[in-house]
Chains A and B, each alone.
Chain A
């Protein structure tokens, strides 16, 4: 199956192939532009957006800075409510725990709510290897699963497919997995959605085990929250006897009240709605008299690189992410390259900073991801928890080029500079020297200004590829510091 990320080419190569695909570019452009416009409108309805964004940022930052305390509190609350908490340091451990829990039920199939965490750990493949079939029930995830494909967007994973392609996948594949597609299926979205409804309903009604992630976990109460639109989430969270939720440790909020912030910012940022159609909240299990929902509830708390990310003081802000995907829809690079080029379940700007932190920058694709950006800043602008993605991108670029101390699997290690960045490294070193020697910088800048008429329009040698598609920035007639000295007379203390 093509669903693996192993051996992915680095971003520039993968993106190069994607931008040559006319259908893909058309599908992506249509989708990102549509949702971008809708989101701006939904956000403009809320006059206190800036304050909500600031509150969301602060809640998440505070939680991350005291994550040990909140994790223990959450464990106590969930346990007190009748749930069982498991801890998984990495993907293998999480997969092993879930597989064993499913086996204990004696079942050989599970229904799944769309979940980034279970995709990140490759749970479906791990279950398959143990003879357990995992059915994706979100429409887009179903399209991806039936198409033996990979998701290309956080919110709408089949955004790269158009209706004609989806119809063909349903006709060809549905019978392999259960109820076949209806005769004479057309490509109207309503008919395709109906085909999915019929196909999946038989699975929902017989399912004994559900697997989900969660958008939020409340430490104070042990409440888990899943936000969705179709009702497949409600089906998986309500009908099975056993529910297993795999959730990243960064998804905690301290108090019940904190949900008031994120239930306002998440829907508007992701689907551009005032509120998504369905939100389910559950706290452990209810007792038998008022039994409502699964009788057994397991929560698997997933690390898998999150604590390593937390150890990076600049990069840890990526853990604020609430997976709304607004940054994907405004990104000029994502729009052209598509989600697959990022070689990770987290595509787009957030993926470009999250994946190299969760997985480390050891592989070619992970070392290339911090460069998968034009640093235009649109992602930071739309982020509902104010993650400064450009800042982290630059920070990670420096790490790739320069190497230095990082934390991997809980251990401090010193990273070697990546190969193939010698010219950049030399430039960085020269810049550092110049900035720490003000006299030399001043002389250099004046020299550059006075010789500006002699400067070439393209770079020679290896730089020619870069300047072949760009104009070199013009050198000003006078360095800024000279201008400042001349017009302000050095007031304010430029020395």
Chain B
């Protein structure tokens, strides 16, 4: 008998007490919890997102679509970034005003090459206001998971209000499970030394978020 049959056999024997008419999943699971905490208007939800992002030490900017290229260019200049990585599907206009040299993420580029990139600019799939979370789903304007991981500076652009939801339950309904998903809430952090929170261990040490409205 192989381990698969052995384990499944043990599970079935262990569950001999469970009746055949045990309630099915739909009845067994109660969902009396909320799908949103508190009542907010659209603008208040965006404001909550900004607050919660900042609370976890992300740097939040707000601008209009027309001002986005100048805003991004200003952030890269302030950081002193000489190179910036843009995913293949990113709107070229976003980086039109940037002085930094643009680097493409090629399938064959090594992690070491990515490590030499100063900044990365991406869009996101959805942002969660109640938790201050950005979710990337590997779409063409967000790139592969590693591009937002290895460089030390990540600029993430969120279109408000249409990419913003209130809560985790609302976010999950907007996402496709089979895509590679990364949920980001603030920059990399650790509390492993005497529970003192330190920002920046292995992921980007600086996370800047631009909330863009039309």
Contact = CB atoms under 8 A, between A and B. Distances in A.
Interface of A: 27, 30-31, 34-35, 45-48, 51-52, 54-55, 58-59, 61-62, 65-68, 71-72, 81, 86-89, 93, 137-140, 143, 156, 158-159, 162-163, 166, 189-190, 192-194, 196-197, 200-201, 204-205, 218, 220-221, 223, 229-232, 234-235, 238-239, 249, 254-261, 263-264, 271, 273-283, 286, 290-293, 301, 303, 307-308, 310-311, 313, 316, 407, 410
B11 interface: yes
Given A47-B37, A58-B30, 14 more contacts: A30-B195, A34-B195, A48-B34, A55-B29, A55-B30, A156-B195, A189-B190, A193-B193, A193-B200, A231-B188, A239-B111, A256-B172, A274-B131, A291-B107
B205 to A, nearest CB: 9
A25 to B, nearest CB: 14
A229 to B, nearest CB: 5
Contact of A89 (B7, B13, B130, B192): B7
A307 B7 contact: yes
A259 B191 CA distance: 24
Given A61-B28, A205-B112, A275 B131 contact: yes
A58 B15 contact: no
A27 to B, nearest CB: 7
B15 to A, nearest CB: 6
A63 to B, nearest CB: 9
B32 A277 contact: no
B100 interface: no
Interface of B: 2-4, 6-15, 17-18, 22-23, 25, 28-34, 37, 52, 56, 107, 110-112, 115, 128, 130-133, 138, 144-146, 149-150, 168-169, 172-173, 177-196, 198, 200-204
Contacts of A220: 177
Given A259-B172, A279-B182, A292-B138, A218 B177 contact: yes
A72 B5 CA distance: 11
A274 B201 contact: no
B36 to A, nearest CB: 10
Contacts of B7: 71, 87, 89, 249, 301, 303, 307
B191 to A, nearest CB: 7
A230 B190 contact: yes
B178 A221 contact: yes
A358 B194 CA distance: 31
Contacts of B115: 201, 205
B198 A193 contact: yes
A307 B4 CA distance: 13
A48 B169 contact: no
A255 B172 CA distance: 11
A313 B188 contact: no
A278 B182 contact: yes
Contacts of A311: 10, 13-14
Contacts of B17: 313
12 contacts: A34-B195, A62-B23, A71-B8, A87-B6, A163-B194, A204-B202, A230-B188, A232-B202, A273-B185, A277-B185, A282-B181, A307-B11
A283 B146 CA distance: 16
B131 to A, nearest CB: 4
A264 B31 CA distance: 14
Contacts of A218: 177
A196 B201 contact: yes
Contact of A283 (B31, B177, B195, B200): B177
A286 B180 contact: yes
Contacts of A81: 178
B72 to A, nearest CB: 23
Contacts of B192: 138-140, 143, 156, 158
B99 to A, nearest CB: 28
Given A62-B25, A234-B145, A281-B180, A229 B189 contact: yes
A261 B33 CA distance: 9
A139 B32 contact: no
B18 A65 contact: yes
Nearest to A227: B183
A338 B22 CA distance: 41
B132 A162 contact: no
Given A68-B11, A278-B203, A230 B133 contact: no
A89 B202 contact: no
Nearest to A89: B3
Contacts of B29: 55, 58-59, 62, 258
